[in-house]
Structure 1
Amino acid sequence: MQFDWSTLGAKPPTALVRARNLSHHALQWVAKAARANLEARPDDAHVSLSWDSGRAAFLSQPLPAGSAEVRVGFSLRRFALVLLRNNRDLDEFELGGRKDASVAVWFDSAMRTLGLKTASEVDQPYSLPSLPVTRGSAYHVSGETDAFGELARWFDMGADLLADIIAANPTAGPVRCGPQRFNMSAVIAVDAGGTEPARSISVGLSPGDEHYAQPYVYVCPAPRLKPADLPLIAAPGQWHLKDFVAAVATGEDILLHPEPAATVAAFVNTAIDIGRERLGNL
Structure 2
Amino acid sequence: MTTTWHMTKKIKPQVLTEGRLQLHYAIQFIAATGTALAEALPDYSHTSLSWHPVLEVFVGAAIRAAQPFQVALDPVNLKLILLNQQSEAIVSLPLHGKTMVEGLSWLQQAVSQLGADASKIAFLDYPPDDFPDHPLAHGATFDASQPSALSELTDYYVNTYLLFQSIITANEDATAIRIWPHHFDMATLIMLPGTRNGSALTVGVGLSPGDANYNEPYWYVSPYPYPDTASLPVLDGHGFWHTQHWVGAVLPASQLTEFSSVEAQQQQVEAFLQSALALSISLLQPVSPAKV
Q: How does 1:206-225 map to 2 (within 5 A)?
A: 206-225=208-227
Secondary structure of 2:172's match? coil
Q: How does 1:138-217 map to 2 (within 5 A)?
A: 138-142=141-145, 144-191=146-193, 197-217=199-219
Deviation larger for 144-153 or 127-136: 127-136
Structure 1 residue aligned with 2:76: 77
Deviations 1:184-218 (A, max 9, x none): 1111111269x953111111111111111111111
TM-aligned CA deviation for residue 124 of structure 1: 1.5
Is the contact between residue 29 and residue 119 of structure 1 (CA under 8 Å) also seen in structure 2? no
TM-aligned CA deviation for residue 41 of structure 1: 2.9
Equivalent position amino acid for 2:162 in 1: D
Is the contact between residue 236 and residue 250 of structure 1 (CA under 8 Å) also seen in structure 2? no
Structure 2 residue aligned with 1:129: 132
Is the contact between residue 241 and residue 248 of structure 2 (CA under 8 Å) also seen in structure 1? yes
Deviations 1:218-240 (A, max 9, x none): 11111122211111223420101
Distance 2:219 2:259 in 1: 15
Unaligned runs of at least 5 residues, structure 1: none
Deviation larger for 223-232 or 158-167: 223-232
Secondary structure of 1:42's match? coil
Deviations 1:236-270 (A, max 9, x none): 20101122111010111124356121221121111
Distance 2:17 2:53 in 1: 21
TM-aligned CA deviation for residue 55 of structure 1: 2.6
Distance 2:271 2:26 in 1: 34
Asked if 1:264 is matched to 2:250, the reply is: no
Count of residue pairs brought into register by the alignment: 278
Structure 2 residue aligned with 1:280: 285
Secondary structure of 1:4's match? coil
Secondary structure of 2:64's match? strand
Structure 2 residue aligned with 1:59: 59
Structure 1 residue aligned with 2:34: 34
TM-score, structure 1 length as denominator? 0.92
Is the contact between residue 224 and residue 244 of structure 1 (CA under 8 Å) also seen in structure 2? yes
Equivalent position amino acid for 1:272 in 2: L
Deviations 1:146-204 (A, max 9, x none): 111111111000100101111222222211110111011111111269x9531111111
Deviations 1:109-136 (A, max 9, x none): 0110011222675252415222111101
Is the contact between residue 36 and residue 121 of structure 2 (CA under 8 Å) also seen in structure 1? no
Moved over 3 A (4+): 255-258
Deviations 1:76-101 (A, max 9, x none): 01101110001111111011111122
Overall identity of the aligned pairs, in %: 28
TM-score, structure 2 length as denominator? 0.89
Structure 1 residue aligned with 2:4: 3
Q: How does 1:102-121 map to 2 (within 5 A)?
A: 102-118=102-118
Match of 2:245 among 222, 243, 253: 243
Structure 2 residue aligned with 1:92: 92
